[in-house]
Amino acid sequence: MKKLAGTAAKPLTSRQLAALIGVSQSAVSRAFTPGSSIAPDLRARILSGARNYGYQPNAIASMLTTRRTNIVGIVVSDMQNPFYPTLIERLTQGLQRAGLQSLLFNISPGSSVEDQLVALRTYNVDAVVVISATVLNAKTLAWATEGRKAVLLNRLGSDDITSICCDNTDGARMIVDHLFAVGHRRIGYVAGLTKTAIGMLRYSAFSARLAELGMRLVGTASSESYSYDAGWRGALDLLPQAPDAIVFASDILALGGLDALQRVGAAGIGATGFDDIPMAAWPGYSLTTYRQPIAAIVERTVELLRRPDLGPAQLFTLKGELIIRESSQVGGMAPA
Amino acid sequence: MKKLAGTAAKPLTSRQLAALIGVSQSAVSRAFTPGSSIAPDLRARILSGARNYGYQPNAIASMLTTRRTNIVGIVVSDMQNPFYPTLIERLTQGLQRAGLQSLLFNISPGSSVEDQLVALRTYNVDAVVVISATVLNAKTLAWATEGRKAVLLNRLGSDDITSICCDNTDGARMIVDHLFAVGHRRIGYVAGLTKTAIGMLRYSAFSARLAELGMRLVGTASSESYSYDAGWRGALDLLPQAPDAIVFASDILALGGLDALQRVGAAGIGATGFDDIPMAAWPGYSLTTYRQPIAAIVERTVELLRRPDLGPAQLFTLKGELIIRESSQVGGMAPA
DNA sequence: ATCATTTTTGAATACGCATTCATAGCCTTG
DNA sequence: CAAGGCTATGAATGCGTATTCAAAAATGAT
């Protein structure tokens, strides 16, 4: 005799538990509300009774009175770049440890972005984390985050919204310095989305440092996305310029580029990425890259979202770490 | 003068809107409830007024009365295997189109799994989708899904819970048949988690078909996870057996295996995967694999979850598609 | 034109909890 | 020992919507 879904007994209410224990409903509520005025032993008695009878507060009902949901809306538009699944995984775990839930919004192109985000508003999420979603224009962003905490990750917004980014300038600089130290002089650049603030930032930091060191920017390929294919094409586009090394705006681009170089027998050209996705460490790629400080980004995000109020909008820039592997050496990934 | 977060005016309630329009609160509620008894023109007038004044029903409040949240809890324990981000992305998009929201639970090892899933219960999710989470034992699974709809993806549970899987038997068979047709005879197998039902299923279907065709299973390497590193080690373990080709239980294993073979100069050995993750198509790997029918899986899942009741537990087995690339040819990925 | 039936509407209530308000108990201090 | 100040508790109320119930309006049939 199997139990049919939906047949389960309705869960206990605080009032029922109160009756069972012989206290008031208020007492039960207070027992579960940290910092409320209740005698320690009463609280203990109630909590123990709750465990006993299997009572758990109904979060929905409490949302209605407190007007807080403890839900964070996470808005993503690209899970194909392997950097983001990792970030999302760590972020949801971090939020969860802080007692916050993650409502995931995957924006798909096509239908209206606002339509896909109405639930941010109707479900009253406390906060919104936007992960690098370039499909959100400033207006939609403002609408979606209106009246709630909002944080942008890996994206720069207007100056009235808090952003958390890795230090792109530092990253670009470390990469260039490293290439210089290794002996590369003629550098090519494969950009990601050049229309984004982050994309432009990485590029300008990169080219500025290049100039400072007197290195030569032999060419730039811009691509329409951060993808393997775009990296592949970008690398090939730069070949005629005969670069010593190619700087890719992200790891996923670099992987495509490396494969392309290999395919055309130009594996001697150096390459660097940005992010340090798991695949960058794979022996077949062994990609030198700037590792994004995921832990720090998550930590800062969670810390901000725990606050009752974010305070004035800020830009947090967190330093990453240069991971030197084989792809950037002179001779690149050429077989020994 | 920037608006501070939290300063936003409280959204309109149905009662306020009713007052503005000159109807009752019930009418407003009915206007937003499909199938409720209300005159078409009244509904139109109210909906137009709502648009006008910017009223949107408060989902939280309606959850309290209807006892339905339209929230689906998605439980994952491994986003590192690139197959899952894709699945999750498509799934949340599919759910969203059906008006369902996705609450994401990323189980991290360490603290109690139940603790990480309490919100499934306190937030009253309508349904739970468990994606291949092996960390959930049957008891915890029952607890987490008690009284709500539940679907397992890529995982087999006890027989009282609905599962949706690709057709592992068909996949194993097509792979073996293909290897046979191409001319491979001595086959090695790199298993994933052999203790899981799916893992065992794939293996037994594989070896059964092998036997039917009179091919030789020269060795099996079992690994502790579906990961690149495990595939790498598995492939190396099989080398002494001198297989013509190695069948990997998943793409991510195969990628590691291919790199290992390449590294030791054994790139002539054929290889196949399972899943068809994006990287399988990359020229550097060009992995022959069985493509999971993600669209069909998502479609079926969403269709099930829209129902008021799942009905009796079933196992849905959806056929995938053999994608033939270079890695399975005789001579494998060896340079021409 | 009248009555029976159906449809449409509004008032009232319940959902489960947090919180305010008022009270009863307790401790402190003069 | 009394008065004042605190703390711990319970009763009552409200959060915003869906739904039930009863009444009103509209429709149909004779």
pLDDT in tens, A169-215: 999 999 999 999 999 999 999 998 888 888 899 999 999 999 999 99
Distance from CA of A305 to the nearest CA of B (A): 12
Through-space separation of residue B118 CA and nucleotide D2 C1' in angstroms: 53
Structural domain boundaries enclosing A102: 71-166+294-319
Predicted local confidence at residue A47, as pLDDT: 95
Relative orientation angle of helices B294-306 and B83-97, to the nearest 10 degrees: 40
State whether B157 and B300 are in the same domain. Answer: yes
Residue A214, domain CATH? 3.40.50.2300
Distance from CA of B325 to the nearest CA of A (A): 16
Q: What are phi and psi of B124, to 5 degrees?
A: 55, 45
State whether B90 and B62 are in the same domain. Answer: no
State whether B172 and B255 are in the same domain. Answer: yes
Q: Is residue B111 part of a domain?
A: yes
**Token pair of B315 as six digits:** 């196992």
State whether B273 and B314 are in the same domain. Answer: no
Predicted local confidence at residue A159, as pLDDT: 82
Structural domain count of chain A: 3
| A59 with B108: Cβ contact below 8 A | no
A138 Cβ under 8 Å from any chain B Cβ? no
A156 Cβ under 8 Å from any chain B Cβ? no
State whether A161 and A202 are in the same domain. Answer: no
Rounded distance, CA A78 to CA A1, Å?
45
Q: Is residue A336 part of a domain?
A: no
Predicted local confidence at residue B4, as pLDDT: 36
The label of the residue with tokens 């994606």 reads B131
Q: Is residue B335 part of a domain?
A: no
**Token pair of B294 as six digits:** 């993600």
State whether B82 and B147 are in the same domain. Answer: yes
Distance from CA of A28 to the nearest CA of B (A): 16
Q: Is residue A84 part of a domain?
A: yes
State whether A271 and A180 are in the same domain. Answer: yes
- b/e burial code for range A202-233 (CB count within 10 A of at least 16 → b): bbebbbebbeebebbbbbbbbbebbbbbbbbb
Q: Which residues on neighbouring strands pair with residue B192, listed in sequence order? A: none
A59 touches strand D (CB under 7 A): no
**Token pair of A329 as six digits:** 């050496």
Predicted local confidence at residue A2, as pLDDT: 34
Residue B23, domain CATH? 1.10.260.40
Of A146, A207, A143, residue with least CA distance to A175:
A207
Walk along chain A (336 residues) in steps of 10 and give the mean pLDDT of each run.
46 94 95 92 95 95 95 94 95 96 93 92 96 87 93 89 95 96 95 86 93 93 89 95 96 96 92 96 95 98 94 94 95 60
Rounded distance, CA B85 to CA A278, Å?
14
Domain boundary among A66, A92, A108: A66
State whether A174 and A27 are in the same domain. Answer: no
Q: Is residue B336 part of a domain?
A: no
- Please measure the distance between the N-terminal and C-terminal CA atoms of chain A and give it in whole angstroms: 68
Residue B262: list chain A partners with CB under 8 A.
284
Rounded distance, CA B265 to CA A336, Å?
13
Q: Is residue A266 part of a domain?
A: yes
Through-space separation of residue A113 CA and nucleotide D20 C1' in angstroms: 38
State whether B98 and B133 are in the same domain. Answer: yes
Per-residue pLDDT of chain B (336 residues; tens, 9 = 90+): 333 344 456 889 999 999 999 999 999 999 999 988 899 999 999 999 999 999 999 999 999 999 999 999 999 998 999 999 999 999 999 999 999 999 999 999 888 899 999 999 999 999 999 998 888 888 999 999 998 999 999 998 878 899 999 999 999 999 999 999 999 999 999 998 888 888 889 999 999 999 999 999 999 998 888 999 999 999 999 999 999 999 999 999 999 999 999 999 998 999 999 999 999 999 989 999 999 999 999 999 999 999 988 989 999 999 999 999 999 998 766 554
Q: Is residue B138 part of a domain?
A: yes
B186 Cβ under 8 Å from any chain A Cβ? no
B121 Cβ under 8 Å from any chain A Cβ? yes
Q: Are A162 and A304 in contact (CB under 8 A)?
A: yes
Predicted local confidence at residue A197, as pLDDT: 86
Q: Is the dihedral of CA A58, A61, A65, A68 positive or negative?
A: positive
State whether B286 and B216 are in the same domain. Answer: yes
Q: Is residue A7 part of a domain?
A: no
| A79 with B93: Cβ contact below 8 A | no
**Token pair of A78 as six digits:** 């690209």
Q: What are phi and psi of B103, to 5 degrees?
A: -100, 120
**Token pair of B199 as six digits:** 């893992």
State whether B182 and B105 are in the same domain. Answer: no
State whether B268 and B199 are in the same domain. Answer: yes
| B262 with A284: Cβ contact below 8 A | yes
Through-space separation of residue A287 CA and nucleotide D17 C1' in angstroms: 56
